Amino acid sequence: MTKTPHISVQHLDVHIGAQHILKDININIPDKKVTSIIGPSGCGKTTLLKSFNRLWDNTADVKITGKVLVDGEDIYAPDAEVTHIRKKMGLLSQRPYPLPMSIYDNVAYGPRIHGIRKKQVLDQLVEEQLKATGLWNEVKDRLNASATRLSIGQQQRLCLARGLAVGPEIILGDESTSALDPVSTAIIEDLFISLKEKYSIVLVTHILRQARRVSDYIIFVYMGKIIEFGPTEEVLLNPKEELTKEYVKGYIS
Amino acid sequence: MRKRKFEELFFRVLMVFATILVSGSFFLIVGTIFFKGLPYLNWDMITKTPGGGFYIGKEGGILNAIIGSFYVAGGATILGLIISIPVAIFINLYMDGKRFLSNTIRMAFDVLFGIPSIVYGAFGFLIMVYFGIRASLLGGIIAVTLLVIPILVRTLDEVIRTVPFELRDATLSLGATRWETAKVVLRQIRPGIFTAILLSFGRAIGDVASVLFTAGFSDNIPTSLHEPAATLPLAIFFQLGSPVEEVQGRGYASALILTIIVLIITVLADILIKKFSKHKI
Amino acid sequence: MLVFTLASVSLLLVIGIGLYYKSVPIIQRLGWTELITTSVWKPLKGLFGFFPFIMGTLWVTAIAIIIALPLCLLTALYIVEYAPARIKRILIPFVNLLSGIPPVIFGVWGVLFIIPLIQAHIAPHFVEFSTGYSVLAGGIVLAVMIFPLIVSIISEVLRTIPQELKDASLALGATKWETIKKVILRKALPGIVAATVLAISRAFGETIAVLMVCGNNAVVPHSVFDTGYPLPALIANNYGEMLSIPSYDSALMFAALLLFIIILLFNIISRVILARLERRLAS
């Protein structure tokens, strides 16, 4: 890889309570590509993802050591400004969590927090992001309706639009299609493919078919360690490590 | 950005301040009672009944009220248990399938729980008048029982609900009748029953409005259900109403005695609750 | 068993009917409107205007809620969102212990601490003369009595808010406080309302503590430093004369009936809100 990595993880160790969840992680997330993290349940995929935007800050009993460099700056440095870091990343969770407000307010939430007040600017932003996630035509007549009235697929797209509205550089997706029906899943997958022109995307998924369809690179995590990392086709069809071979066996056969 | 941080800091300080105020008020109250009551506390207070002229400064103690309160609270708790245990069992074991009905009944008891004691006192008084009972130990027990039933039912209900379905089903599938299952469940929740008893006793012993009309007052320890009974809260109230400073001071000491009794009961109940939850999965 | 259950539940109805039955004489004599809106209270002449007592109850309750709600909301927010586990373990028991203290002790505390406080330190800034016995004293004592109720219900409600929802807000770059302000409080609003309604109903019926510090003067209060005479205190103070003066017992039963109806309504409203919240959670 000649491109500079967008996120660079160095010697990251994460302990939750007494358990050592992530062990000496060293990885570089490529810029403006889709990278999927795969692996069996409970091996640390989500833990790794959430350590990118310091969401573990709010859970007691979590100890994190090591460095995570985003654009060259360590987000775990003592003087790092958390809200600034999080603004750089958009998070899409497993299930959509629309904020208890209207569709418009959901998307405008982030920008408003960061100081944008002018109605025209907000209007434009909301429209832009709803268009980018393909929701605009479906909701443009009811922007003031409560976000909870949307279908699950629409809600997830709303959450994506919401995340994009703050102007991040990186999108994090935590098994973000697992609660959706096949049609909505396909729409979100297509969105990820088109969005990588502007954003670096890191996805956690346990659906190998999805990983293959969407990603450029794959990280295989097992028991808290990175076993293999490389371009999608290589890792899935011609893995170098035994453990990887075992895991993707079901997929290729 | 600085403005946002400042706002967060500001409210955080406000929150801490409020928390200290709210949780510290316990100390404030108990502390005040201790300080003002301790000087007047002596053995006489708890071992003697009032001598003549007690309320204007003469000799005696409040043994009448202490025992009277125990009688009333104890009687009410026992009577209350007799009624509440079957009710709690009925809602839980005999009403399977009729979710809506049992939830409505639970709501009815929740509402009963919220009715102030003065209404129970007034109603108890009505019952007494209707049956021709005079203000007495019996009257007090009736009114306080009414007060205590919702507390018991609510607590017992919550405790029974912690018994896993599998346990109940297991005995039923072995061919036991629902009554025999009930006995098993009851034995299982024994500590919970004690907690319920303690909680209702604590409430009963400190309540004024329910015994105000119904238990009467007397300087003697009641020897039968038909005699009027003194109660601690009323004794405190009357002593405080006296113009004599010495008597007022004894009122504070009586308040201290009541506080200590209730605190012991509450702490015991807390310990039992913790012990009980340890047995759960 | 069935009999006991039915009997206990019907207790609600029986109490209501019993009180109503006993109030009928005075309702027939004076009518609901005159009873509730007039202020003349001369039992010997058969005049019973409940207005001052209703107002007294309202004043005391309003003061109590105004003091207790913000304090308890802030406390619950701190305990659930900010407090480290160690501090939580120490704080929560003390809030709960407060609920075990008998009302009469609160009354004694009110007389010993709050009355002198108002008389010597607070009132002089505002009025010429005050004994300290006032609706303010009643409101303060009542507020402390309902602290545990409000804190525990609001804490429960706050705990039901999923961490992922808070994460969603934080992930957008909001601070913790902004998340509380814009997301958590909005979600918790029905629960907060329910807690308030329940607290109001509890405050309405509190008898002895308020009686000891309110002054018990049958006039309509016009400032927080005026004395007041809430409904429960009225009933408690006059039960002695109840049977000797004609219509007096009916009047007092009417007061009890008023209390009963209002509290019943508030209780049911709040329980329904809370039940609906619980159901939404389970789905």
How many other β-carbons are positioned within 10 Å of the β-carbon of residue A1? 10
pLDDT single digits (tens) B218-274: 887 888 888 888 888 988 888 888 888 888 888 898 899 999 999 999 888 888 777
**pLDDT band at residue C127 under the 50/70/90 scheme:** confident
**pLDDT band at residue B11 under the 50/70/90 scheme:** very high
Q: Does B1 touch chain A (CB under 8 A)?
A: yes
**Between A and B, how many CB-CB pairs are < 8 A?**
4
Residues of B in contact with A81 (CB under 8 A): 1
Long-range CB contacts (within 8 A, 24+) of C237-246 = C237/C211, C238/C43, C239/B125, C239/B212, C239/B213, C241/C43, C245/C43, C245/C44, C246/C46
Which residue of B13, B15, B155 to mutate against C (max C Cβ within 10 Å)? Answer: B15
In chain B, residues 109-168 whose CB comes closer than 8 Å to chain C: 109-112, 114-120, 122-123, 125-127, 146, 149, 153
Q: Is the pLDDT of residue B18 over 90?
A: yes
Q: Is the pLDDT of residue B1 over 90?
A: no
Report whether B256 contacts B239 (CB < 8 A).
no
- What per-residue confidence (pLDDT) applies to A72? 82
Query: In 3-state terms, what secondary structure has residue C27?
Result: helix
The percentage of residues in chain C with a pLDDT greater than 70, rounded to a whole number, is 98
Residues of C in contact with B156 (CB under 8 A): none
**pLDDT band at residue A159 under the 50/70/90 scheme:** very high
C171 found inside a domain? yes
Q: Is the pLDDT of residue B280 over 50?
A: no
Cα–Cα distance for residue pair A249/C258, rounded to 1 Å: 75
Dig out the tokens for A196 from the structure: 């990588």
Q: ∠A84-A85-A91 over CA atoms, to 5°?
A: 115
Q: Is the pLDDT of residue C144 over 90?
A: yes
C65 found inside a domain? yes
Which residue among C95, C111, C252 places its CB closest to the CB of B22?
C95
Long-range CB contacts (within 8 A, 24+) of B217-223 = B218/B64, B218/B68, B219/B49, B219/B50, B219/B54, B219/B60, B219/B64, B220/B49, B220/B64, B221/B49, B221/B63, B221/B64, B221/B67, B221/B68, B222/B68, B222/B71, B222/B136, B222/B137
C27 found inside a domain? no
Verify whether the Cβ–Cβ distance C163 to A99 is below 8 Å: no
Cα dihedral A53, A56, A57, A63 sign: negative
Q: Taking residues B34-39, report their average pLDDT.
A: 88
Q: Taking residues C211-221, report their average pLDDT.
A: 85
Which residue of C172, C177, C178, C179 to mutate against A (max A Cβ within 10 Å)? Answer: C172
Q: Taking residues C161-186, report their average pLDDT.
A: 92
- What per-residue confidence (pLDDT) applies to B157? 86
C283 found inside a domain? no
Q: How many residues are recorded in chain A?
A: 253
Three-state SS for chain A is CCCCCCEEEEEEEEEECCEEEEEEEEEEECCCCEEEEECCCCCCHHHHHHCCCCHHHHCCCEEEEEEEEECCEECCCCCCCHHHHHHCEEEECCCCCCCCCEHHHHHHHHHHHCCCCCHHHHHHHHHHHHHHCCCHHHHCCCCCCEHHHCCHHHHHHHHHHHHHCCCCCEEEEECCCCCCCHHHHHHHHHHHHHHCCCCEEEEECCCHHHHHHHCCEEEEEECCEEEEEEEHHHHHHCCCCHHHHHHHHHHHC
User: Subunits touching C (CB < 8 Å, at least 3 pairs)?
Assistant: A, B
Nearest to B182 by CA among B203, B202, B167, B197: B167
C125 found inside a domain? yes
Q: DSSP letter for B216, please.
A: -
C20 found inside a domain? no
Cα–Cα distance for residue pair C18/C253, rounded to 1 Å: 9
Q: Does C198 touch chain B (CB under 8 A)?
A: yes
Q: Chain-centre distance of CA C69, in angstroms?
A: 11
pTM, 2 dp: 0.86
Report whether C143 contacts C209 (CB < 8 A).
no
Q: DSSP letter for C182, please.
A: I
Which residue among B8, B18, B105 places its CB closest to the CB of C74?
B18
Residue A76 identity: Y
Report whether A37 contacts A202 (CB < 8 A).
yes
Name the residue ranges covered by the structural domains of chain A.
98-167
Verify whether the Cβ–Cβ distance A113 to C165 is below 8 Å: no
Element (H, E) at C231: helix C231-238
Q: Is the pLDDT of residue C283 over 60?
A: no
The CATH number given to whatever domain includes residue C73 is 1.10.3720.10
Q: Specify the residue for token string 């690179």.
A: A217
User: Subunits touching B (CB < 8 Å, at least 3 pairs)?
Assistant: A, C
* Backbone φ and ψ of B127, nearest 5°: -60, -45
CA distance C169 to chain A (A): 8
Verify whether the Cβ–Cβ distance C98 to B26 is below 8 Å: yes
Residues of A in contact with B1 (CB under 8 A): 81, 83-84
Is ipTM beyond 0.85?
Answer: yes
Verify whether the Cβ–Cβ distance A162 to C172 is below 8 Å: yes
Dig out the tokens for B160 from the structure: 């029974």
Chain B residue with minimal CA distance to C11?
A: B112
Domain region containing C208: 55-244
Q: Does A115 touch chain C (CB under 8 A)?
A: no
Which segment of A126-130, B63-67, B126-130, B173-177 scores lowest on mean pLDDT? B173-177
Q: How many residues are recorded in chain B?
A: 281
- What per-residue confidence (pLDDT) applies to C34? 78
Q: ∠B236-B240-B243 over CA atoms, to 5°?
A: 150
Report whether C75 contacts C151 (CB < 8 A).
yes
Verify whether the Cβ–Cβ distance B15 to C82 is below 8 Å: yes
Nearest to C267 by CA among B210, B106, B147, B107: B107
Mean pLDDT of chain A: 88
Using CA atoms, how far residue A153 sits from A177, C106, C169, in Å, is 9, 55, 20
Which residue among B15, B117, B122 places its CB closest to the CB of C19?
B122
Dig out the tokens for C44 from the structure: 């010997």
Residues of A in contact with C183 (CB under 8 A): 99-100
User: Subunits touching A (CB < 8 Å, at least 3 pairs)?
Assistant: B, C
Spatial neighbors of C173 by CB under 8 A, at least 6 apart, are A83, A84, A86, A87, A110, A113, A114, A166
Which residue among C163, C168, C172 places its CB closest to the CB of A113?
C172
Q: Does A113 touch chain C (CB under 8 A)?
A: yes
Dig out the tokens for A41 from the structure: 């349940």
Nearest to A233 by CA among A253, A250, A213, A247: A213
C4 found inside a domain? no
Report whether B256 contacts B41 (CB < 8 A).
yes
Query: In 3-state terms, what secondary structure has residue C42?
Result: strand
Verify whether the Cβ–Cβ distance C172 to A109 is below 8 Å: yes
Verify whether the Cβ–Cβ distance C175 to B5 is below 8 Å: yes
Q: ∠A28-A197-A141 over CA atoms, to 5°?
A: 125
Using CA atoms, how far residue B160 sits from B151, B184, C6, in Å, is 14, 11, 19
How many other β-carbons are positioned within 10 Å of the β-carbon of residue A57? 15
Q: Is the pLDDT of residue A1 over 50?
A: no
Q: Does C172 touch chain A (CB under 8 A)?
A: yes
Report whether A25 contacts A193 (CB < 8 A).
no
Q: What is the DSSP pairing of strand A62-70 with strand A225-231?
A: unpaired
- What per-residue confidence (pLDDT) applies to B281? 40
Verify whether the Cβ–Cβ distance A86 to C172 is below 8 Å: yes
Q: Does A100 touch chain C (CB under 8 A)?
A: yes
The percentage of residues in chain A with a pLDDT greater than 70, rounded to a whole number, is 97
pLDDT single digits (tens) A175-210: 988 888 888 899 889 999 888 888 999 999 988 888
Domain count, chain C: 1
- What per-residue confidence (pLDDT) applies to C84? 87
Which residue of B1, B2, B3, B7 to mutate against A (max A Cβ within 10 Å)? Answer: B1
Q: Is B29 exposed, middle or buried (0-12, 13-18, 19+ CB in 10 A)?
A: buried
Nearest to C227 by CA among C130, C142, C141: C130
CA distance C167 to chain A (A): 7
**pLDDT band at residue A253 under the 50/70/90 scheme:** very low
CA distance A50 to chain B (A): 23
Q: Is the pLDDT of residue B138 over 80?
A: yes
Cα–Cα distance for residue pair A227/A235, rounded to 1 Å: 11
Verify whether the Cβ–Cβ distance C260 to B5 is below 8 Å: no
Cα–Cα distance for residue pair C281/C283, rounded to 1 Å: 6
Residues of B in contact with A84 (CB under 8 A): 1
Report whether C36 contacts C48 (CB < 8 A).
no
- What per-residue confidence (pLDDT) applies to A196? 85
Verify whether the Cβ–Cβ distance C108 to B18 is below 8 Å: no
Dig out the tokens for C239 from the structure: 């039960």
Q: Specify the residue for token string 């704080």.
A: C91
Cα–Cα distance for residue pair B243/B249, rounded to 1 Å: 11
Cα–Cα distance for residue pair A129/A155, rounded to 1 Å: 14
Cα dihedral A158, A162, A168, A171 sign: negative
- What per-residue confidence (pLDDT) applies to B277? 63
Mean pLDDT of chain B: 83
Cα–Cα distance for residue pair B98/B222, rounded to 1 Å: 46
Dig out the tokens for A228 from the structure: 């293999």
Q: Does B3 touch chain A (CB under 8 A)?
A: no
C267 found inside a domain? no
Q: Which residue has the higher pLDDT, C123 or A80?
A: A80
Q: Is the pLDDT of residue C264 over 90?
A: no
- What per-residue confidence (pLDDT) applies to B57? 66
- What per-residue confidence (pLDDT) applies to C282? 60
Which residue among C4, C97, C205 places its CB closest to the CB of B118?
C205
Residues of A in contact with B2 (CB under 8 A): none
Q: Does C175 touch chain A (CB under 8 A)?
A: yes
Verify whether the Cβ–Cβ distance C178 to A87 is below 8 Å: no
Verify whether the Cβ–Cβ distance C1 to B107 is below 8 Å: no
Nearest to B214 by CA among B144, B91, B125: B125
Cα–Cα distance for residue pair B99/C278, rounded to 1 Å: 15
Q: Is the pLDDT of residue B178 over 80?
A: no
Using CA atoms, how far residue A139 sits from A91, A127, A186, B40, in Å, is 22, 10, 20, 74
